[in-house]
Structure 1
Amino acid sequence: MKGGGSIEIGEVSKDAYRKKGVKRGLSIMDFILRIIGGVATLASAVSMATTDERLPFATAFIQFRAEYDDLPSFVFFVMANSVVCGYLVLSLILSIFHIVRSTAVKSRIFLIVLDMAMMSLLTAAASAAAAIVYIAHYGNSQANWFPICQQYNSFCERISGSLIGSYIAVALFLIIILLSHVAIFRS
């Protein structure tokens, strides 16, 4: 019937099809962002874990060295980025499931909870490492901690670069969580 307040059946199916298409598009975007986040966390972990620099002192036998594992905050940073990278790779399975079944809600909620936990872990690790990087660059005159980045240029550049990748992954997690919320509430 085409009159009054009734809706045609064709209109309802078109609207439902459109909603399903939007959810599928959100799921595909989620999948892509998880891949990018995995690459960013992997690059951050590898960059930090392979960072070391040696400076000769008077002779070739006496050297000063700076390595990531000299500082527990950097070890935590590498471990957290590795765990989050592994999680992002494993979460691709559920992300593919959401592309196929765009109406799944319970698995999306489960993924949001895990995403928030991983984002928290990554934020904590990046913040702890950022504090050490700040001290390495600027020192702290009140505590008599001198900046080391004038001597260890390569070391400081690499640790600063690995922080950038980690914070990019944190931003991607925010976007992923928002996309998941939108996908759930577009039902």
Structure 2
Amino acid sequence: MASIDAPTTTTIHIAETSTDSKGKGIATASLETSGPAKAPPAAGRGIAARFTAVKIARGGWKRGVSIFDFILRLFAIAASLVATTTMGTTDQTLPFFTQFFQFQASYDDLPAFTFFVIANAIASGYLVLSLPFSILTIVRPQAVGPRFLLLIFDTVMVALSTSAASSAASIVYLAHKGNSSANWVAICQQFNNFCQRISGAVVASFIAAVIFMLLVVMSAMALRRP
């Protein structure tokens, strides 16, 4: 696009500097010509403005991912705590026997359930400790270190929570269905309350595992350079 130059300005200065032999003043004139003022280049400002706009937009969507990450961690804390407390307090004794001969079912009778409680307790503690790092990614969406650290530990928690939920789910299935080939009898008809509680704990643990998977995917997306 062609530019329009400003008009050139000419200034004439007249001053009486001396007199001749007849006493008349002799005026002298000076001519001053000024050209158009040069406008500052606008190309550099335009590039800087576009770069700033792109940077703000990039930080905006990363901040949105960080906020969603924080919310998911709160839900994961709730799911892990529910799984831990429900399984850890599950205990049922059948009432129709004497005090010297009773049938009792408790979570610590089976190593899979004990591992389940420990794993979900570790996951709950980790999620609480990860909240400050999640807040840091909200304040500084371009920070790579905290997000990369969360990605590593979230991946470990995916493996831990998934293994705990899967091992407990296999025992819950046997409690509900039994196994005629191994002569394992289903016990949920007798220990109904026990089976309901352990089933709910396993469902809550699987919810926490799915949330951990989402956290890993979101962290990987935020670390990817556009």
Normalised by the length of structure 1, the TM-score is 0.93
State the shift of 1:61 in Å.
4.7
User: How is 1:52-67 mapped onto 2 (pairs within 5 angstroms)?
Assistant: 52-59=91-98, 61-67=100-106
The reply to whether residue 130 of structure 1 matches residue 136 of structure 2 is no
- The aligned amino acid for 1:82 is A
State the shift of 1:109 in Å.
1.5
Give me the whole-angstrom Cα distance separating, in 1, the residues matched to 2:180 and 2:171: 15
Contact 2:136 2:146 (C-alpha < 8 Å) held by counterparts: no
1:9-46 C-alpha deviation (Å, 9 max, x unpaired) = 32221121011011111111111111110110001000
The reply to whether residue 50 of structure 1 matches residue 96 of structure 2 is no
| Higher RCO (C-alpha 8 Å, min separation 6) | 1
- The aligned amino acid for 1:146 is V
Q: Which consecutive segments of 4 or more residues in structure 1 shift more than 4 A?
A: none
Give me the whole-angstrom Cα distance separating, in 1, the residues matched to 2:71 and 2:79: 12
1:68 corresponds, among 107, 110, 126, to: 107
Structure whose alpha-carbon radius of gyration is higher: 2
Q: What corresponds to 1:93 in structure 2?
A: 132
* More deviation, 77-86/111-120: 111-120
Contact 1:38 1:85 (C-alpha < 8 Å) held by counterparts: yes
Normalised by the length of structure 2, the TM-score is 0.77
Equivalent pairs counted in the alignment come to 185
The reply to whether residue 151 of structure 1 matches residue 190 of structure 2 is yes
1:18 corresponds, among 40, 53, 57, to: 57
Identity %: 49
Give me the whole-angstrom Cα distance separating, in 1, the residues matched to 2:208 and 2:89: 20
Give me the whole-angstrom Cα distance separating, in 2, the residues matched to 1:96 and 1:59: 56
- The aligned amino acid for 2:197 is R
Structure with greater helix share of residues: 1
